[in-house]
Amino acid sequence: MGKLMTLRAFEEADIPAVAALEAANQPRPWSPKVFIDEIGRSDRRYIVAEDDGIVGFGGVMLVGDEAHVTNLLVDPARRGEGIGRSVLTKLVLLSVDSGAEHLTLEVRSKNEAALGLYRSFGLAPVGVRPKYYGDDDALIMWAHDIATTWPSSTEESEH
C-alpha cells in the first residue's frame, strides 16, 4: 500500500522533482530558477502533494485582497484521484489565511480538466485573452468573496 498523501510547503529541496514534473508536462515549463525565485517570495504560497514522491504542486501569488493561481500540476499518472482538488483547496485556505478575498487565474480555453476543476470551485470566466497561448485563448476566471462563500467541506481532505 502507498503512503497517505500529504500536502506541505514547497521547499527548495523539492525543486529537482517539481521541475522535472513541470518540464515533462508543461508546454512552456518554468525553469528551476523560476521555482527558486517564486518559493522565496513572501507574497507567494507554494505547496506540494507527496506520497511515495511528489505527485503534484501548485501556488498562488497574493496581490492586495486577491490570490492569483500561478501554477498547478498533477502527475499525469495520478490524475483523477482528487489531488488537484486537494492542492487547490489548500491554496485557497492559505490565501484566505493571508487575507485574500478573491481568487483569479488564467487557463487555456480548451483545458477541459482544469476548467472542470475551476468551475467546481465557483470560478467563472470573466474575460478572454485571444491567442494568449499562441494556439489557444486564455480565459480569465474569478471567484469573489472566497472566505465567505467557501463551503466548509473544503477543509483539508485526506487521501
Q: Which residue lies nearer to ligand COA by CB, 99 or 129?
A: 129
CB–CB of 49/57 below 8 Å?
yes
Nearest Cα residue to 38 out of 47, 26, 27 = 47
Return the percent helix, strand and coil in the chain, to nearest 5: 35, 30, 35
Interface with ligand COA includes 38 (CB under 6 A)?
no
Q: Which residue lies nearer to ligand COA by CB, 32 or 82?
A: 82
* Alpha carbons 83 and 61: distance in angstroms, whole number: 20
Interface with ligand COA includes 116 (CB under 6 A)?
yes
Size of residue set near ligand COA by CB under 6 A: 19
Q: Which residue lies nearer to ligand COA by CB, 144 or 159?
A: 159
Site for ligand COA, rule CB under 6 A: 72-74, 79-85, 105, 107, 111-114, 116-117, 120
